[in-house]
A = this chain, B = another copy of it.
């Protein structure tokens, strides 16, 4: 089971990302950092990946248990180190739902995602190996 994305440089620090299924999105940074602010920054995308993966598990599990979700929101905050590489040192998730479901079902869905299913969270908890190759196109 492999997944694959491609990132192509457009201008300044702006890139176009494409997945295997025909979706694309712009990655950029702020003007102070040399970009044009035309899209998500990479560190924000890391938070979106974490939020999206867990949110999908939770919504799917609550609905399987017969719950009706009318709204569901997640806010993620990442606190960065002050020194390079300025990695996230702490990530805080806030999960907020509304609808006709049992609070304990949402709690259990969250625990199942955190402890068993969330691929992105567990990639961060237990880092993969990395391999690099460089060349002329």
Instruction: Please report A residues at the B interface, Cβ cutoff 8 Å.
Output: 1-9, 13, 15, 17, 19-21, 23, 25, 27, 29-30, 33-35, 37, 39-53, 55-56, 59-60, 69, 71-82, 84-98, 103, 106-107, 110, 114, 116-137
Of B33, B96, B134, which one neighbours A135 at CB under 8 angstroms? Answer: B96
Stoichiometry, copies per complex: 2
The listed residue with most B CB atoms (<10 A of its CB), out of A21, A48, A137, is A48
Query: Complex: how many Å from CA A27 to CA B44?
Result: 13
Residues of B within 8 A of A19 (CB): 40-41, 44
When distances are taken between beta carbons in the complex, the residues of chain B under 8 Å from A69 are 9
Contact between B121 and A124 (Cβ–Cβ < 8 Å)?
no
Identify whether the interface residues of A are mostly helix, strand, loop, or mixed.
Answer: mixed
Instruction: With A43-B49, A84-B117 as known contacts, state yes or no: A77 contacts B132, CB within 8 Å.
Output: no
Please list 16 pairs of residues, one from A and one from B, whose beta carbons are closer than 8 Å in the complex, sorted by A's number: A3-B43, A3-B88, A4-B47, A5-B47, A5-B51, A9-B71, A13-B59, A23-B39, A41-B52, A45-B46, A87-B126, A90-B129, A95-B135, A121-B130, A124-B127, A124-B128
A136-B7 CB under 8 A given contacts A48-B25, A126-B87: no
A128 B89 Cβ-Cβ under 8 A? yes
